[in-house]
Amino acid sequence: MLVTYGSSCEALARASAKIAGLNVLDTSRRRFPDGEQYVRVDGDVRGQDVAVFQSLGLNPDSYLVEYALIVDAIRGAGCRSVTAVVPYLAYARQDKRFRDGEPLSAKAFARLIERAGTDRIITVDMHLHRFSRISEVFDIPAENVSAMPLIAEHYAKAHRGESIVVVGPDMESEQWAKQVAATLSSRLYVLEKERLGDRDVRVSDVSFGKGSRALLVDDMISTGKTLMEVIAKLRLQGFSPIDAAAAHSLLVEGAYERLKAAGMSELISTDTVPGPHSSVSVAPVLARAISP
């Protein structure tokens, strides 16, 4: 197995390869004057299995094209197989045709990844809601690994022994929140959420406990609106401090600043979407997943 990478996650690809003891093929890229992408993969891939790291957060359409070009480059150079390592998988939340005329984006995006020439895919904490397993979305072998045990260990180091409640903002968050609650031996509460628009949600009232430290756990933070609503409810019940943990911190439109203003204390996230809050690296779980 060799490792190569797109522009979204070079550092994570290198860190994972180092842990797994695998060689990395460098890539280079540029834009043509009209905006089209050019990529080149250095090194001999003939007869080799290659893991291509490309996260698909924040600029997924462009990253997907870059991924497809990398795969074509290594296929053209005679590699034996291609494993897509996609730390953050975009488009998973549109997992239903909610209205007539809409795409089933989760599946449509999966088809694009497959037809680019992918034999197998590995991702991290995929947003599984109406599909309960990654194999219902992909037709190729697919593995969904979790960052939640690493996030929980990281949080436990700082807060072991404290009274903490873990809170999931909606039904689907239970799968992630319960892993964290188990490691922390904490009580778990899962709220109900109603989505009113892209930037607008309503969550159920908090009727449990009072006053202790709370850790909100979700798979991802985009606009931050979901967690802001939960923070407001927890503050009414006197919870303090209120921390948040998510595998994927997209944090669009000033979400971090708005979460801080809403009363969030600490944010723990990973490098699936690299940023200032990537305090936990998923390299160990990805290294394990790609190891021969």
Nearer to ligand R5P, 45 or 259 (CB): 259
Q: Tell me the window of 15-23, 110-118, 139-147, 218-226 that interacts with ligand R5P (CB under 6 A).
A: 218-226
Residue 95 is a binding residue for ligand R5P (CB under 6 A): no
Q: Is 193 a catalytic residue?
A: yes
Nearer to ligand R5P, 120 or 127 (CB): 127
Residue 226 is a binding residue for ligand R5P (CB under 6 A): yes
260 CB-near residues (< 8 Å, 6+ apart): none
Pseudo-torsion of CA 138, 141, 147, 149, nearest 10°? Answer: 120
168 forms beta bridges with 190
Report the C-alpha gap between 81 and 120 in whole angstroms: 8
203 forms beta bridges with 193
Strands 49-53 and 37-41: unpaired
Residue 222 is a binding residue for ligand R5P (CB under 6 A): yes
Report the C-alpha gap between 248 and 270 in whole angstroms: 6
Among 95, 125, 172, 243, binds ligand R5P (CB under 6 A): 172
Nearer to ligand R5P, 77 or 252 (CB): 252
Catalytic entry in 193, 210, 225, 260: 193
Among 66, 218, 243, 271, binds ligand R5P (CB under 6 A): 218
Both tokens of residue 246?
A: 């998510």
Both tokens of residue 172?
A: 């689907």
Nearer to ligand R5P, 53 or 88 (CB): 88
Q: Residues 113-152: x/- map of binding to ligand R5P (CB under 6 A)?
A: --------------x-------------------------
Report the C-alpha gap between 231 and 247 in whole angstroms: 18
Strands (E), 129-186: 142-145, 164-168
Report the C-alpha gap between 173 and 176 in whole angstroms: 5
Among 25, 221, 247, 289, binds ligand R5P (CB under 6 A): 221
Among 155, 224, 231, 242, binds ligand R5P (CB under 6 A): 224
Nearer to ligand R5P, 223 or 270 (CB): 223
142 forms beta bridges with 121
Catalytic residues: 193
> Where do contacts with ligand R5P occur on this chain (CB under 6 A)?
93, 127, 169-170, 172-173, 201, 218-226
